[in-house]
Structure 1
Amino acid sequence: MANFDYDVLYIGTGHAAWHGALILAGAGKKIAFAERDLTGGTCTNYGCDAKALLDGPAELVSALERYKNLGLSADIRMDWPKFMEYKHQVIDPLAGAMTGMLTNAGFTIINGSAEFIDQHTVKVGDKTVTAENIVICTGQSDVKLDIPGKEYMHTSREILDLAELPEHITFIGAGIISMEFASLLTQFGVKATVIEYADRALLAYSEEYSARVVDKLKASGVDFHFGESLASIEKSGDKYIAKTASGLTVETDYILAATGRRANVAGLGLENAGIEYSPRGVKVDDHMRTTASNVYASGDVVDKMIPRLTPTATFESNYIALAILGTPQPIQYPAVPNVVFTLPRIAAAGVTVNQALKETDKYHIAKVEYGKLLSFEYRNETDAEATVILDKDNYLVGAEIYGDQAGEMINIITMIINGRMTMEMIMGTIWAFPTQTDGLVEMLAPMLHSSRGE
């Protein structure tokens, strides 16, 4: 048997890596990480955590608007520089804390860019290490359109580090990143424009709910231009001029590129290990193995149809650890809950509304207008509702929720989907009242499959 430096080498230290590493450490495996950036990866240092922290106060202010004509008259002002100070206090120490956690667990962290020499050997900076198994966890990066003036565009990583907000921001793309930041920053008084090539926003979600979010943003002063392709950007003094192929021009102070993300595969030397990949990511089989049998891939770097989310990266990391330890079963993903943190939120899990509308022979759709009927439970958010998808036997197989608490509510919906819960199972549970979960499941239960007569 070959003598390797490590049992497992992870390339990256994000959620796609360290969760599984803890499982392997418990089994006595010798583990190392290669990291070219901050320990903890994008979500911890540059993405989800910072965005959630800044989104919290914006969500509160948005919710207060619903009570302005009902007795609430407080004037709350949003102070971006102070919130950014708070962000740095909370987020900046996380990389060091993650480094401490991993090293205290007995792991080795090797700083530097990784490049495969062969399927067991990786050069990390000026060091060469060998491992019996290797897991690629390098994630994705923002992509900028290849147009004149692309150097004037910024990424989501940069916008989360702005000391002062510009007066006007132009978002290129109307996907999750743009729509979330537009919702957040308009709460701080920023004027915004969205330029989108497609004919609507948030294509992965239902046209109805994405249109509602667009209408809310329009009411906040956001300008949308659909069916427009950005052609160039020019600098004019302190301003930037974004021009589309149709001749539309937008003068702005800041431009955010949010047209997609690309897998971080460049420079890894994957061809040296016989690993197949494309700009979409690393190809894996149903055991998360690459075309090099001892090399796995996890998280956003994987070429997959499953949503690229922190929870799926964690799920895959844990699965790979068990696979390395000898678990033979192919990976099976449950329904995956996902949330767009706009104001209000859109959350979904399982079969999508778009899919159900195309496959009416397999699914039927129902509305649950919980906000309208139970406003005392849902904080006067009367337009909050859920669209649920049921199969022919009335088992819940998917849902999309629109409302401020959609992110929390989709978790119970996901449990109902994955557990194939029946009407009797829902009604056989006592739920805390008056809560948002209670209201939703009470209205949903009569629609579900009943075991009576079986």
Structure 2
Amino acid sequence: MKNYDLFVIGSGMAGMSIAQKAAAKGLKVAITDELPYGGTCALRGCDPKKVLIGPTEAHYHADHLLGKGINQVPEINWEDVMEFKQKFVDEMPPKIEAGYENKGIAMYHENARFLSEDTLQVGQEKIRADKIAIATGAKPRELDFLGAEYAQTSTDFLNMKEMPESLLFIGGGYIAFEFAHIAARCGAEVTIVHRSQAPLKNFEQDIVDHLVKATEELGINLVLETEVCGVEKLEQGYQVKGETNGEFEFFKAEMVINSAGRPPKIFDLDLEKANISYTKKGIEVNEYLQSTTNSRVYAAGDAADSPGLPLTPVGVLEGYTAASNIIKVEQKIVEYPPMPTVVFTLPTMASVGLTEAAAKAGGYNYRVNYKEAENWFNARRLQVPEYAFKTIIDKETETVLGAHLIGPNAEETINLFAMFIKTEIPVTEIKKMIFSYPTLASDISYML
């Protein structure tokens, strides 16, 4: 039986952060992943998705500037886009493995499961470790209706050789909206079927309403308050059965995508054998990211039931914090700064801090600035009809509690709001700042 100071399960950004930091401090470290090293973000999520979005940005702006200096909207070549994307994906695993090798980290390419509190079965080997870190990330939610096996995943979408003529997305979260926008701009007929009254429930709904409008104007069929209850394979494509208040509706599509959420990938680890408590949200951890029931075990990223949002930078933060607590006797409490999150549709929607509902529930004395800004210069010069903001300001301290944007460069502007919240800089001081003009950041003082 092999022995390690630390064994890491999962090679995404959280697991990588833990393994590299611990190895740099002299611990004997090993890591395993049954999939290629790099995790969801680098190989099956954020990065390849953003590469695919690039050509659609050119399409989006050309479409809005048609007749304003642009004579035609470019056609997107899916095969070329995929080839470009794959270059980024293919280079990651060998680069990561080389980094592990340089740091003396032992590498396994097997799934892992617990045999006891400190022992794992990794492929055909039994391994004991003083500390074990779980950073397995998340996976697509398992659907439990007839024909669920016909639904593809976001990974399948990111590896499509050709764009189908029609697609249907099950679920109304950010994955569905982002991929639906990509597919629609590539010429596909797209449907989103969502079981609740409002999609993207964790975002400020006043801003979501603008995205819904833009989504429908793009030609995407957005079907709300409808539960998918079956998928039937046809001679060509699939028929999806939806139920609304006891009545059934049927949709046809060449491809069906399961975008109904991503639970933590922990339920096949035999956690009970290691006395590891968990919930449907992940491993139960304390403020040090340590298992509440097995002090040898730490969890980070999507695998942990922690206050952190399911975002790559948060996984890295938690990974470094967990590593510090594995390495040192002193305990480091995980501290979360404001966590901006973005829906990479076009228009782009971004959010950081409190929503109005959260501010009200928290008992804050606040004021709200909400405005549609499609007549502002930055919207008019790009000819985009979707530009709006909602900011939440603490009346007592005159600091920003939350900011919610939709429109050009929202994914960048939101980072400035994150800094304002973190530093608690008063609104009066923000308004004194000089931003380069004309930029989207120069609009900030008018949003407060």
Quote the residue 2:298 is aligned against: 296
Once residues 372 and 9 of structure 1 are traced to their aligned partners in structure 2, the CA distance between those partners, rounded to angstroms, is 56
Select the residue among 346, 351, 358 that pairs with 1:343: 346
Quote the residue 1:439 is aligned against: 443
1:207, distance to aligned residue in structure 2 (A):
2.1
1:380, distance to aligned residue in structure 2 (A):
4.0
Quote the residue 2:255 is aligned against: 254
Once residues 174 and 252 of structure 2 are traced to their aligned partners in structure 1, the CA distance between those partners, rounded to angstroms, is 23
* 2:402 is aligned with 1:401: no
- In the alignment, residue 263 of structure 1 is paired with which amino acid? P
The farther-off stretch of 190-199 and 125-134 is 125-134
Select the residue among 177, 188, 191 that pairs with 2:186: 188
The DSSP-based 3-state class of the residue aligned with 1:177 is helix
- Contact kept, 8 Å, 1:372 with 1:383, in 2: the verdict is no
| 1:111-160 residue CA offsets vs partner (Å, 9 max, x unmatched) | 21111222222221112222221110011110132111111111101111
Quote the residue 2:395 is aligned against: 392
Select the residue among 414, 421, 443 that pairs with 2:418: 414
Once residues 288 and 340 of structure 1 are traced to their aligned partners in structure 2, the CA distance between those partners, rounded to angstroms, is 27
Matches within 5 A, 1:131-280: 131-245=129-243, 246-280=247-281
The farther-off stretch of 28-37 and 60-69 is 60-69
The DSSP-based 3-state class of the residue aligned with 1:92 is helix
Q: How many pairs are equivalent?
A: 442
Once residues 198 and 360 of structure 1 are traced to their aligned partners in structure 2, the CA distance between those partners, rounded to angstroms, is 27
The farther-off stretch of 431-440 and 193-202 is 431-440
The farther-off stretch of 327-336 and 309-318 is 327-336
- In the alignment, residue 393 of structure 2 is paired with which amino acid? L
Once residues 34 and 171 of structure 2 are traced to their aligned partners in structure 1, the CA distance between those partners, rounded to angstroms, is 29
Once residues 333 and 136 of structure 2 are traced to their aligned partners in structure 1, the CA distance between those partners, rounded to angstroms, is 23
Once residues 356 and 423 of structure 1 are traced to their aligned partners in structure 2, the CA distance between those partners, rounded to angstroms, is 17
1:286, distance to aligned residue in structure 2 (A):
1.0
| 1:227-280 residue CA offsets vs partner (Å, 9 max, x unmatched) | 111121111201211112221011111111111222111221211111001332
Matches within 5 A, 1:103-142: 103-142=101-140
Quote the residue 2:14 is aligned against: 16
The DSSP-based 3-state class of the residue aligned with 1:321 is helix
Once residues 436 and 327 of structure 1 are traced to their aligned partners in structure 2, the CA distance between those partners, rounded to angstroms, is 44
Quote the residue 2:316 is aligned against: 314
- Contact kept, 8 Å, 2:115 with 2:274, in 1: the verdict is yes
1:367, distance to aligned residue in structure 2 (A):
2.8
Once residues 426 and 282 of structure 1 are traced to their aligned partners in structure 2, the CA distance between those partners, rounded to angstroms, is 40
The DSSP-based 3-state class of the residue aligned with 2:413 is helix
Structure 1 residues 62 and 376: alpha-carbon distance in aligned structure 2, compared to 1, 3 A threshold: closer
The DSSP-based 3-state class of the residue aligned with 2:202 is coil
Matches within 5 A, 1:367-382: 367=370, 372-375=375-378, 379-381=382-384
- In the alignment, residue 299 of structure 1 is paired with which amino acid? G
* 2:331 is aligned with 1:328: yes
| 1:139-195 residue CA offsets vs partner (Å, 9 max, x unmatched) | 111013211111111110111111011111011111111111111111100101111
| 1:71-115 residue CA offsets vs partner (Å, 9 max, x unmatched) | 221331111111111112221221122111221222111221111
Once residues 383 and 294 of structure 1 are traced to their aligned partners in structure 2, the CA distance between those partners, rounded to angstroms, is 50
Select the residue among 341, 344, 358 that pairs with 1:355: 358
The farther-off stretch of 146-155 and 86-95 is 86-95
Quote the residue 1:282 is aligned against: 283
Once residues 5 and 391 of structure 1 are traced to their aligned partners in structure 2, the CA distance between those partners, rounded to angstroms, is 53
1:376, distance to aligned residue in structure 2 (A):
7.4
The farther-off stretch of 156-165 and 84-93 is 84-93
The DSSP-based 3-state class of the residue aligned with 1:396 is strand
Structure 1 residues 415 and 359: alpha-carbon distance in aligned structure 2, compared to 1, 3 A threshold: same
- Contact kept, 8 Å, 1:300 with 1:308, in 2: the verdict is yes
Quote the residue 1:450 is aligned against: none
Q: What are structure 1's unaligned runs of at least 5 residues?
A: 448-454
- Contact kept, 8 Å, 2:239 with 2:253, in 1: the verdict is yes
The DSSP-based 3-state class of the residue aligned with 2:305 is coil
The DSSP-based 3-state class of the residue aligned with 1:261 is coil
The farther-off stretch of 289-298 and 25-34 is 25-34
- Contact kept, 8 Å, 2:172 with 2:192, in 1: the verdict is yes
The DSSP-based 3-state class of the residue aligned with 2:115 is strand
1:433, distance to aligned residue in structure 2 (A):
3.0
Once residues 159 and 88 of structure 2 are traced to their aligned partners in structure 1, the CA distance between those partners, rounded to angstroms, is 13
- In the alignment, residue 50 of structure 1 is paired with which amino acid? P
Once residues 196 and 379 of structure 2 are traced to their aligned partners in structure 1, the CA distance between those partners, rounded to angstroms, is 38
- Contact kept, 8 Å, 2:378 with 2:440, in 1: the verdict is no
Once residues 376 and 247 of structure 1 are traced to their aligned partners in structure 2, the CA distance between those partners, rounded to angstroms, is 41
Matches within 5 A, 1:44-63: 44-63=42-61
The DSSP-based 3-state class of the residue aligned with 2:190 is strand
Once residues 20 and 432 of structure 1 are traced to their aligned partners in structure 2, the CA distance between those partners, rounded to angstroms, is 39
The DSSP-based 3-state class of the residue aligned with 2:6 is strand
1:362, distance to aligned residue in structure 2 (A):
3.2
1:378, distance to aligned residue in structure 2 (A):
6.7
The DSSP-based 3-state class of the residue aligned with 1:367 is strand
TM-score (normalised: structure 1): 0.92
- In the alignment, residue 82 of structure 2 is paired with which amino acid? M
| CA RMSD in angstroms, aligned pairs only | 2.1
Q: What are structure 2's unaligned runs of at least 5 residues?
A: none
Once residues 267 and 364 of structure 2 are traced to their aligned partners in structure 1, the CA distance between those partners, rounded to angstroms, is 44
- Contact kept, 8 Å, 2:139 with 2:263, in 1: the verdict is yes
Identical aligned residues as a percent:
28
- Contact kept, 8 Å, 1:234 with 1:241, in 2: the verdict is yes
Once residues 241 and 149 of structure 2 are traced to their aligned partners in structure 1, the CA distance between those partners, rounded to angstroms, is 15
Once residues 113 and 27 of structure 1 are traced to their aligned partners in structure 2, the CA distance between those partners, rounded to angstroms, is 26
- Contact kept, 8 Å, 1:388 with 1:399, in 2: the verdict is yes
Once residues 204 and 277 of structure 2 are traced to their aligned partners in structure 1, the CA distance between those partners, rounded to angstroms, is 34
- Contact kept, 8 Å, 2:207 with 2:390, in 1: the verdict is no
Structure 1 residues 229 and 381: alpha-carbon distance in aligned structure 2, compared to 1, 3 A threshold: same
Quote the residue 1:88 is aligned against: 86
